Chains A and B, each alone.
Chain A
Amino acid sequence: NAGVTQTPKFQVLKTGQSMTLQCAQDMNHNSMYWYRQDPGMGLRLIYYSASEGTTDKGEVPNGYNVSRLNKREFSLRLESAAPSQTSVYFCASSSNLGEQYFGPGTRLTVT
């Protein structure tokens, strides 16, 4: 039982490049989330998916797209990376109590 897994763990991009962050959970949770964490800002919700086939914007969706591929997998895509997207990205899924379980994170640097 791996919980929530994310790939890659680290990534360096040049401005304008694209990439997809992958997330998978094996806890049979319906809801999944993508957050970014910046120093002094706490965690901010980018997108979430309440169930397979649905996605909704969070607090900071601009510059990102998501795909809920199936119940297990939820990916985050940066189409044209910008330095302002340098951050640590966390994927999470939630139990039926709303308790969220987090992946190990992806540290992204955009130069």
Chain B
Amino acid sequence: ELKVEQNPLFLSMQEGKNYTIYCNYSTTSDRLYWYRQDPGKSLESLFVLLSNGAVKQEGRLMASLDTKARLSTLHITAAVHDLSATYFCAVDGSRGSNYKLTFGKGTLLTVNP
């Protein structure tokens, strides 16, 4: 059974600081996804990582995937208040094209002025 662990689960940081959220998973996979969820809202896709060594960047967020270590990171650079949200990683542990995702519990990020 695929297990996906995120840490930390809660992160309070100051504006302007850098930090990294970690996503570890238990079985072989080379498909990993990051999502953002604002309070009371749905999930919005941030990054799609489909191979070992994949790196994607959008604004102050950068995601990477190391399939050998079964680890993905979401790095936040010079945080701003607008980044406050819950961030989920999700791993596709299925074969073929079913794309069945297992989600981590999420990291609640609060960026304080």
A residues sitting closer than 8 Å to B (CB atoms) are 30-31, 33, 40-45, 48, 50, 56, 58-59, 90, 94, 96-105
- For residue A102, which residues in chain B have a CB less than 8 angstroms away from its CB? 42-44
A58 and B90 CA atoms in complex are apart in Å by 15
Known: A94-B99, A99-B33. A42 touches B104 (CB 8 A): yes
The count of residues in chain B whose C-beta lies closer than 8 Å to any C-beta of chain A is: 22
Task: With a 10 A CB-CB cut-off, give which of A41, A50, A56, A103 has the most chain B CB atoms.
Answer: A50
Q: Which residues of B contact A41 (CB under 8 A)?
A: 105
User: In whole Å, how far is B103's beta carbon from the nearest beta carbon of chain A?
Assistant: 4
Residues of chain A with a CB closer than 8 A to B43's CB: 43, 90, 100, 102
List residues 90-113 of chain B with CB under 8 A from any CB of chain A: 90, 92, 97-106
Would you list which residues of chain B between 24 and 45 have a CB under 8 Å from chain A? Answer: 31, 33, 41-45
Binding site for A on B (CB under 8 A): 31, 33, 41-45, 48, 50, 88, 90, 92, 97-106
Q: Are A98 and B31 in contact (CB under 8 A)?
A: yes
Complex CA distance for A42 and B2, rounded to whole angstroms: 14
Does A97 contact B50, Cβ atoms closer than 8 Å?
yes
Flag if B33 contacts A98 (CB, 8 Å): yes
A–B pairs, 16, beta carbons within 8 Å: A31-B97, A42-B103, A43-B43, A43-B103, A45-B100, A48-B98, A90-B42, A98-B33, A98-B50, A98-B97, A98-B101, A99-B48, A100-B101, A102-B42, A102-B44, A104-B42
Q: State the Cβ distance, A5 to closest chain B Cβ, in Å.
A: 11
Contact of A97 among B42, B48, B90, B101 (CB under 8 A): B48
